[in-house]
Amino acid sequence: MVKKIFFQLIFFNLFFLKEVFAAESGGMPQLNPEFWISQIFWLTFTFGILYIVLSKLILPKISANLELRKSQIQENIEAAEKQRESSEAKLKEYDDIVSKSKLEANNIFKEARENALKEINAKKETLDKQIDEEIKKVEQEINLLRKGASEKINKIAIETTSELLVKLIGTEVNNSSISAIVDDLSKRNGDKYYGN
């Protein structure tokens, strides 16, 4: 109820206001020429000022702003493109460097390996030679010793035999006959005594 009265109050107020403004009623106010001149004058005046201010001051600014933004965006795009290109180039450079250094490392490794192998081989060869020489020397010595040994043994055998004969029989036997026997024995059984 209170709401209804409130609404009606508002509406009636507006209604009375309207009544105050409405000077006359009936017909189309648009066709009343009383204020035509005034409207034409004020239209020309306001629209003229609007046109002049817009065309001289505001629109050039907006168009400049738009142009500036366009060029700025274009510039930014170009700069980004440039940076992208340079970064790509750098990436390529980096890749090149990496692959080059890899190759180099491989080469160095290979070289080092070859060098090491060569050194090892050289040392081995010299060592082998030395060993061979030593062996030869030792063999010669052994051979010398062996030859010397049989003669010495023969001599010992001859002397021992002559001493034994002197002690057993009391007579001296000719050394040459003993040595002939010993030689003969040693020749026959040399293999058995010295072995090979």
The reply on whether position 69 binds another protein by CB under 8 A is yes
Please tell me the distance from the alpha carbon of residue 24 to that of residue 30, in angstroms, as a whole number. 13
Task: Compose the 27-56 pattern: x for residues touching another protein by CB under 8 A, - for all others.
Answer: xxxxxx-xxxxxxxxxxx-xx-xxx-xxx-
| Least gap, CB of 53 to another protein (angstroms) | 6
- Residue from 22, 192, 195, 196 in contact with another protein (CB under 8 A): 22
| Least gap, CB of 35 to another protein (angstroms) | 4
Task: Please name the residues in contact with 157: beta carbons below 8 A apart, sequence gap of 6 or more.
Answer: 182, 185, 186
Q: With respect to another protein, which residue has the nearer C-beta, 72 or 140?
A: 72
Contact yes or no for 179/154 (Cβ under 8 A) = yes
Using N-to-C axis directions, what is the helix angle for 59-169 and 175-194, rounded to 10°? 140
Q: Alpha carbon 46 to chain centroid distance?
A: 76
- Residue from 9, 13, 68, 112 in contact with another protein (CB under 8 A): 68
The reply on whether position 112 binds another protein by CB under 8 A is no
Q: With respect to another protein, which residue has the nearer C-beta, 33 or 195?
A: 33
Please tell me the distance from the alpha carbon of residue 174 to that of residue 180, in angstroms, as a whole number. 10
Q: With respect to another protein, which residue has the nearer C-beta, 56 or 188?
A: 56
Q: With respect to another protein, which residue has the nearer C-beta, 47 or 194?
A: 47
Sites for another protein among residues 134-163 (CB under 8 A): none
Please tell me the distance from the alpha carbon of residue 158 to that of residue 182, in angstroms, as a whole number. 7
Please tell me the distance from the alpha carbon of residue 165 to that of residue 159, in angstroms, as a whole number. 10
16-to-11, 62, 79, 104 alpha-carbon distances in Å: 9, 46, 68, 101
Task: Please name the residues in contact with 173: beta carbons below 8 A apart, sequence gap of 6 or more.
Answer: 162, 165
The reply on whether position 58 binds another protein by CB under 8 A is yes
Q: With respect to another protein, which residue has the nearer C-beta, 65 or 160?
A: 65
Residues that bind another protein (CB under 8 A): 4, 7, 11, 15, 17-19, 21-32, 34-44, 46-47, 49-51, 53-55, 57-59, 61-66, 68-69, 72-73
